[in-house]
Structure 1
């Protein structure tokens, strides 16, 4: 593999395309793409065959994807023919009423779950991000910004709150203004590793990107002092190569993260509750009024907060509901497909 491709974070486990046809998606804006082969950037579009074969939104390229492309060097343009298999993908339920998954970032190694050390910090929202990160196949790191605006006492109190829900997850408090904590954060940004920044608007993602890159590449806006909420600054997903060779994906702020999947990751996210469940007297314990329920004992003793337990139950219900919607959609699509096949066969033999 050539050095140009390697610096884009090439993973040797992906061996599915010719070297000279490889490129990585670095920007997605609606239906247009910007790609890089490690030496040259190209504006790219999807081939007709790709468009015909894509059946869901998850089939389309996302920032971080590796793709097989045809380069039109003279025009500095390219045609994307297919997306290579992903080693990880952060997916959320797309906004709106339609049941559809949306890939936020692909082939990521770490997710920086960015929150600010102000009164907009929400540990329930953080649980969602941690769950979705584990489900993606990447590892989470909680990044608490705006350290320069907080007292040491507030920082210690907030970190203690986060530790209760981010079990075993690294937590780094930083200031993008003074640079405090940045050295520790850089330990999680080694060369050729891909990191996605996720979080709500106004938590300081764009400011952090500018600090890490050493230049103003992302526009920043002030937040409202009344409630610490921010306005969207980043309008699209984009990958940057840091001076040390790490790859950083910035994403627009998400006020709400609707889960797409998470069944396989809920045990890891709520490992404290899952450990209690294993100690219940009955294997089918509903954790309500059953005798010998270890979960209820922990709640009564203050080992487990009611908020944490209710969040666990709520996310389980949400995932089950989402799964039912996806299954129903799949059944309808399968039914419509065979209806179309039947109709085409009838038309084919109608006049024979």
Structure 2
């Protein structure tokens, strides 16, 4: 994917080439100290093995990331960052990157429980969900929690809509996802026919969007439909289970013909939370609304008297599945945070000891014939 070049030598010029991929006056002000050092502004479009491709006013350059590779995995440079690059040299170096406005982060599958940043400075998080397989509402909730926590606006796109020819069935599937994603727009698209892609293109034309989803969700095909060209390689999903192959292996920033930019990501096998309590609360906003009416402010919504959340479940106003998913994600997020927060870890251990002691006492009472 080529990016436009510019004849302007000033990064503050309104006609600056980077305006098409998100450069604005606020970024220019942030970059001013680096401009005084003679460095060039540019946006990272790809990172690979200690090097990255950066779009500058001179065009796309290859730069070394040795100066921006700290031990903290959340501080390494990534696709979407705005970088300060040397104007010449062999190799060129990225000397720094600007503070991020938003960052999409998940936990890795390693035992060290590290966070992994997938994309930076994103306005829209487009979550691709295939209609070729049964909907996994729990996974959608995970993606949404991370999206809300990142600071981006989530958007759920149901792909391969042509595989659900019955409009009634399709409407029910959309309704299920809308219930799962309060406050989030849900679109249905067919990348092969172009149905629905015009609406999506209009949404993502106003900024930077990251395309997320598991392998086989149709992300690469959807990216090609938005780009109007076969830019991303596409492979067919397995017929046995609808799972896809990892066609995209790196995160790439691509300029869209209708405006805006798209960051395409590899299919994610795991969607682990990373310090996303606020994001979880946003996904389950209806539960938080009910919780405001509970008798106790620290109600756990398990068996407490006067629990408005449990009352909502009993009345049918709240689905039991939603409450169970809410509890599960909060527990998971708490475990992740506890691994890096000594105080919280101590509180969890204390609660565990109290519950264990209570359980032993109840067991002893039962064995002794007492209630």
Under TM normalisation by the shorter chain, which class is it?
A: 0.7 to 0.9
Question: How far did residue 255 of structure 1 move?
Answer: 2.2
Q: Which of structure 1's runs of 4+ aligned residues deviate more than 3 A?
A: none
Alpha-carbon shift at residue 242 of structure 1 (Å): 0.9
The yes-or-no answer on 1:6 pairing with 2:22 is no
Contiguous gaps of at least 5 residues in structure 2: 1-11, 346-371
Question: Are residues 1:33 and 2:47 paired?
Answer: no
Q: Secondary structure at the match of 1:282?
A: coil
Choose which of 227, 250, 254 in structure 2 pairs with 1:236. 250
Q: Secondary structure at the match of 2:21?
A: coil
User: Paired residue for 1:153, among 168, 171, 175?
Assistant: 168
In the superposition, the TM-score normalised over structure 1's length comes to: 0.88
> Matches of 1:307 and 1:81 in 2, distance apart?
49
Structure 1 residue 221 and structure 2 residue 240: aligned? no
Once residues 298 and 329 of structure 2 are traced to their aligned partners in structure 1, the CA distance between those partners, rounded to angstroms, is: 19
- TM-score norm. by structure 2 comes to 0.83
Task: Classify 1:12/1:318 alpha carbon distance in 2 versus 1 (closer, same or farther; 3 Å).
Answer: farther
Q: CA deviation at 1:328?
A: 5.0
Determine which of 283, 286, 291 is the counterpart of 2:305.
291
**Displacement after TM superposition at 1:200 (Å):** 0.4
> Any conservation in 2 of the 1:57–1:100 contact (CA below 8 Å)?
yes
Q: Are 2:267 and 1:248 equivalent residues in the alignment?
A: no
- Name the counterpart of 1:196: 210
- C-alpha separation in 2, matches of 1:33 and 1:312: 38
In structure 2, what is the equivalent of residue 175 of structure 1?
190
Report how many residues are paired. 325
TM-fit CA distance, 1:71: 2.5
Tell me the distance in 1 between the aligned counterparts of 2:277 and 2:202.
30
- Are 1:8 and 1:38, in contact at CA under 8 Å, matched by a contact in 2? no
Deviates more, 1:162-171 or 1:10-19: 10-19
Superposition deviation, residue 210 in structure 1: 0.9
CA–CA distance in structure 2, aligned partners of residues 12 and 264 of structure 1 = 30
2:79 paired with 1:63:
yes
Contiguous gaps of at least 5 residues in structure 1: 332-352
Residue 281 (structure 1) aligned with residue 295 (structure 2): yes
SS at match of 1:16: helix
Q: Please, what is the CA RMSD of the aligned residues?
A: 2.0
Determine whether 1:94 maps to 2:108: yes
Structure 2 equivalent of residue 108 of structure 1: 122
Please give the secondary structure, in 2, of the residue aligned with 1:154.
helix
Q: Hey, what's the Cα distance between the residues in 2 that align with 1:205 and 1:289? A: 43
Q: CA offset at residue 306 of structure 1?
A: 1.4
| Contact kept in structure 2, 1:120 and 1:228, CA below 8 Å | no
Counterpart among 21, 24, 28 of residue 43 in structure 2: 24
Mapped to 2, the partners of 1:207 and 1:223 lie a distance apart of 12
1:259–1:17 Cα change, 3 Å: same
Q: Aligned to 1:86, what secondary structure does the other structure show?
A: coil
- Secondary structure in 1 matching 2:87: strand
Give matches, 1:46-57, under 5 Å: 46-47=65-66, 49-51=67-69, 54-57=70-73
Alpha carbons 1:172, 1:181 under 8 Å: kept: yes
Structure 2 distance, partners of 1:154, 1:78, is 55
Contact 1:197 1:248 in 2 (8 A): yes
CA contact 2:65–2:77 (8 Å) conserved in 1: no
Aligned 8 A contact 1:212 1:242 in 2: yes
Q: Distance in 1 between matches of 2:203 and 2:240?
A: 33
